Amino acid sequence: MATILDNPILEIKNLDKNYGSLKILKDVNVAIEDGDFLVLVGPSGCGKSTLLNCIAGLEPITSGSIAIGGRDMTDISPKDRDIAMVFQSYALYPTMSVAKNITFGMKVRGVEKAKRDEKLAYVAKQLQIEPLLARRPGQLSGGQRQRVAMGRALVRDPKLFLFDEPLSNLDAKLRVEMRTEIKKLHRELNASMVYVTHDQIEAMTLATKIVVMKGGVVQQIGTPAEIYTHPANLFVADFMGSPAMNLVPSKAKKNGKGYSLTIERDDAAPLILKDDKAQNLPEDVIVGIRPEDIGDAQLRKGKGLQVSDCLVNVVEPAGADTYVLMGLGGKEVVARVQGETHASAGEMMPFTFNMAKVSYFDPKTGLRLN
């Protein structure tokens, strides 16, 4: 599954992690290059935080190996792995000032005072926390604590940064701001980062590479675009993207060069879509189509677009876009149309289906077919 890289900064091979008889991680293989921003994403309990803890050396692994910067780190203690970590709760030392929080690691390692002060000043300037240095963590706001936690990581200048859901304790507005800031920081430092989140939008915006996990098993590894346009299975298709990809059961039948797909409808005759490029489809197939690939018929015309009339059930305006819900194949299907649409509930309306961007999945295995 893992791509083979020439010079990986992080390379995880055949990693297993068990708690007694409970298998938390199963055969994880991931590698990233220097400067990559790897995001581990998945629902809670999927093992993403455990995997991060294994990379940090805070959890022993059952089998497999972890290498950082080309060195095998499987049995090396966290302090010698050349990593820095930002935690969900920030984990700032409550009785120490901000300055002492940031320099504690250097002090433990016996870095001399002049050097410590120099690095502290540099990091404080970079993160604009100079006025806060004398304060205690308890006197800081959530966003400020977040910055201090980042400062503590930055000052180590490590090979690999690890982030464990660092934004989940912030309010929505601050989260978006800090997200941008982390992205900027990544670009400025050209650092390698591993980032855990359950928020798929965070994953899409930050990552250069995403690992989607479920139940301790890696579902897909790829760039945000690959994951979004070519989800490897039904789980990834459903998990990534908001609103989620429409997954509609249908019957496929060979028709000339390609296939014709029959989708049952409660309120009208079956909807028949034609895909000339589709190949080797079984009779039962799940059609996956993103909301933005179903649109207003008047506005979009072109190759691969098919127009069909559908009954509108619900109209949900969301400002820039309007989401239109209709019943197809026993599912609620969402279409994303222009903000100023004429759609109204209970009426038939023509929609375009962009068949060039459709994904097909096997309903039995859940795996992608095209």
Partner 1 sequence: MTDNSTYAPSSRQWQTIALRFGLYAILLLFALYYLMPLFVMITTSLKSLDEIRTGSLIALPRDVTFEAWRVAWSGACTGIKCEGLSPYFWNSVQLAVPAVVISTMIGALNGYVIAQWRFKGANIIFSLMLFGCFIPFQVVLLPMAKMLGLLNIAGTIPGLIFVHVIYGIGFTTLFFRNYYVSISQELVKAAKIDGAGFFRIFWSIFLPLSLPIIVVTVIWQFTQIWNDFLFGVSFSQAGTQPVTVALNNIVNSTTGVKAYNVDMAAAIIAGLPTLLVYIFAGKYFIRGLTAGSVKG
What residues numbered 111-140 form the site for partner 1, per CB under 8 A? 137-138
Q: Does residue 41 belong to the site contacting partner 1 (CB under 8 A)?
A: no
Closest C-alpha to 28, from 52, 62, 64: 64
Tokens 């060039």 belong to residue: 356
Q: How many CA atoms lie within 13 A of 243 on its CB side?
A: 22
Instruction: Name which position in 12, 84, 218, 328 contacts partner 1 (CB under 8 A).
Output: 84
Q: Which amino acid is at 169?
A: N
Cβ at position 72, least distance to partner 1 in Å: 19
Question: What x-and-dash track marks residues 55-74 binding partner 1 by CB under 8 A?
Answer: -x-x----------------
Question: What x-and-dash track marks residues 283-322 binding partner 1 by CB under 8 A?
Answer: ----------------------------------------
Q: Does residue 85 belong to the site contacting partner 1 (CB under 8 A)?
A: yes
Tokens 């649109």 belong to residue: 295
Instruction: Name which position in 46, 73, 83, 281 contacts partner 1 (CB under 8 A).
Output: 83
Instruction: Name which position in 29, 62, 65, 88 contacts partner 1 (CB under 8 A).
Output: 88
Cβ at position 89, least distance to partner 1 in Å: 5
The per-residue b/e assignment along 201-239, b for 16 or more CB within 10 angstroms, e otherwise, is: ebbbebbbbbbbbbebbbbbbbebeebbeebbbbbbbeb
Q: Does residue 76 belong to the site contacting partner 1 (CB under 8 A)?
A: no
- Cα 210 to Cα 221: distance, rounded to the nearest angstrom: 6
- Cα 194 to Cα 210: distance, rounded to the nearest angstrom: 10
Helices (H), 128-233: 142-154, 172-189, 200-206, 224-229
| Cβ neighbours around 63 below 10 Å, total | 12
Q: How far is CA 307 from the centre of its chain?
A: 33
Instruction: Name which position in 67, 91, 176, 217 contacts partner 1 (CB under 8 A).
Output: 91
Cβ at position 84, least distance to partner 1 in Å: 7
- Cα 180 to Cα 233: distance, rounded to the nearest angstrom: 30
Cβ at position 235, least distance to partner 1 in Å: 29
Instruction: Name which position in 29, 62, 87, 331 contacts partner 1 (CB under 8 A).
Output: 87
Cβ at position 194, least distance to partner 1 in Å: 13
Strand, coil or helix: what is 8? strand
Instruction: Name which position in 72, 93, 180, 277 contacts partner 1 (CB under 8 A).
Output: 93
- Cα 102 to Cα 151: distance, rounded to the nearest angstrom: 6
CB nearer to partner 1: give 4 or 44: 44
Cβ at position 199, least distance to partner 1 in Å: 19
Helix, strand, coil fractions of the chain, as percent rounded to 5: 25, 35, 35
Cβ at position 57, least distance to partner 1 in Å: 8
Tokens 């895909």 belong to residue: 275
Omega within 30 of 0 (cis) for the link into 137: no
Q: Does residue 90 belong to the site contacting partner 1 (CB under 8 A)?
A: yes
Cβ at position 196, least distance to partner 1 in Å: 13
Cβ at position 52, least distance to partner 1 in Å: 11
Question: What x-and-dash track marks residues 189-228 binding partner 1 by CB under 8 A?
Answer: ----------------------------------------
Q: Does residue 109 belong to the site contacting partner 1 (CB under 8 A)?
A: yes
- Binding residues vs partner 1 (CB under 8 A): 53, 56, 58, 77-79, 83-85, 87-96, 104-105, 108-109, 137-138, 152
